[in-house]
Every structure is written in structure tokens, then in C-alpha cells.
Amino acid sequence: MGNNVYQVYEDEIQALEEEIKLLTEKYEDIQQESTFFSEEEILKSIKSFQREMQGESKGNESPTDLKAQLESLEADLSFLMKLTGVQFTSHSKKTLEKTGDRTVQKHRLSGNCYSLSFQLEFQLLETQSKEKVSTVITDLSIIMESGEDSDVSKFVSRIEEHGNLVTFFRSLSTYAEWYEHRRRTFLHFKVQYPEVVTLPEGLQGDCIILRNPQLSGLELMIVWKIHLDEEGTTTPVLDLLTKVPEQVLQHKVTGVESVPARFRSMVGLLGIEAAVENLIKVL
């Protein structure tokens, strides 16, 4: 998806956030107490807020208009969740400082993106002037399920340094989608060819081993890495490693050395699933 499309959603989200802020300003936490919201409590709060706004409406907007706005916001949220795969499971907020034009809040978020879970903790500094309201994220800390991956660790460190949550969620969505695609592909071939396919690291690993029970000692290992650079660009990288019995090497069987290169060509021509399928059938 192009950056321009993401920008449209980012602008829309920012506009919705400003609108929600104006409507809910009188409900802000002035006692500096931490609050925790489950999914059920969020829905109850939305319905309660809707009833209060219907009762307090002074003619500027009818209850029907407010209901339509709420339904539109819920539809937008549902669409964005389906589009990005991101779903929040909990949120807590604590007001650390509040003056006339300055508010500091500490947020904790947890959720999942496809099959990857994540946790965020950060402080949000909001300053208000006559011209505009500006926000700055500080003290950002991110924990991801696949944090042991060196690429992911470097990317997370860069995001924590710059406090860019938009880039984090954009890249997380793409990375997690590839992660889930790899998991499902491995599961498919394990179920389809249980006697041939072995997953030494389980479904969350990055390799799959192919063995023919009738060809003792011959193994083909497909390594499927998901490269995530520090800028947040995700690239799948596949390679094939071969383990050939000594007796086969002694006969100098032609073509063994070229199998990895041929596999990479098949991936480019046929796609990942078709290339693996053809390799299994050949084996």
C-alpha cells in the first residue's frame, strides 16, 4: 500500500482524535488515577457516552446525528483493524501532570497484530496554545513477541529513540502479515506431507526440513527469513540448504550443487508456496 494511502488514514485519525478530545474534555482524569479498560468496558463507555450526549444535546446536533457519528467512528475503527491486523486488548492511562496549557499522561497499551503480540508504554506530552494543540511522545518502551530477532530489535530500538508510533504500527502490520503467512504456509505443508516435512523450531520458527523416508541421509532445509530494516521495510528472504549423503557425493551426481539456485529461481517465477510444493514433489 502506498504512503499516500497511509497518509489519508493518518490525517483522518488525527482529525477524529481532535474531535473526540473536544467532546470528552470534561471527562478527563483530574484525580491522576490509573484506569484500565477492557474491551467490554470500552463498549459500555461508548454506549454511556452516547446516552449522555443525546440527553445533553442543545440543538446543535440531534441524537440521530450523534448516533450516526458514533456508528461511523466504530465502522472506521473496524475497517482499520481489518486493514492493519492491529487489535488492542488493553489500555491504561495515568495523568502525571496537568496545568492550564500542559498535560502529561502515561499510557500502557497491549494488543496483537495477526499472531504477534506487543506491549507499549510511553508518556504523552500535550501543550495547547491559541493556534494549535501539539503532542510529543517520550519515554517510549516496546516489547514484541519476536523481539529476539536481531532485525526486529534494531527496528524497535530506532522507534523507541525517535518515538514514531505511526512508523511502528505501519511496519508492524506488514511484518506481522508476513510472519502469519509463513506460519500458515508451514502448517499447511506439515499437515499435507507429515512424513516428509519437519519443523525443528515449530510453527514460529523460520525453517522447514524436507526428508524422503526412502532416501536416508538426504535433507533439504528451506530457511525463510523476514528481514526488517531500521527504516521499517519488510522483505521475505528464502534460501535452500542441502544435506547430501557421502555415497551420493562420491558418485559425483550432477545438479546437486545447483539445487539452491534453482529453488530461488522457482520462488521468483512461481511464488513461495508453489516453489515449496514442487520441491516436495521432486524429492
Judged by phi (left if over 0) then psi (alpha if -120 to 50, else beta), residue 35 lies in: beta
Identity of residue 247: Q
| Alpha-carbon gap, residue 105 to 145, rounded angstroms | 26
Dump pLDDT digits (tens) for 93-134. Answer: 999 988 888 899 999 999 988 888 999 999 999 888 877 888
Region of poorest pLDDT, from 23-37, 204-218, 228-242, 267-281: 23-37
The phi and psi torsions of 193 (rounded to 5 degrees) equal -130, 65
Does the pLDDT of residue 2 top 60, yes or no? Answer: no
Q: What pLDDT score does 108 carry?
A: 93
79 CA to centre of own chain: 15
Q: Among candidates 127, 120, 122, which has minimal Cα distance to 144?
A: 120
What is the average pLDDT score of the chain? 79
pLDDT bracket for residue 16 (50, 70, 90): low
Check the CA dihedral 266-269-271-274 and report its sign: negative
Dump pLDDT digits (tens) for 165-203. Answer: 888 988 999 999 999 999 999 999 999 999 999 999 999
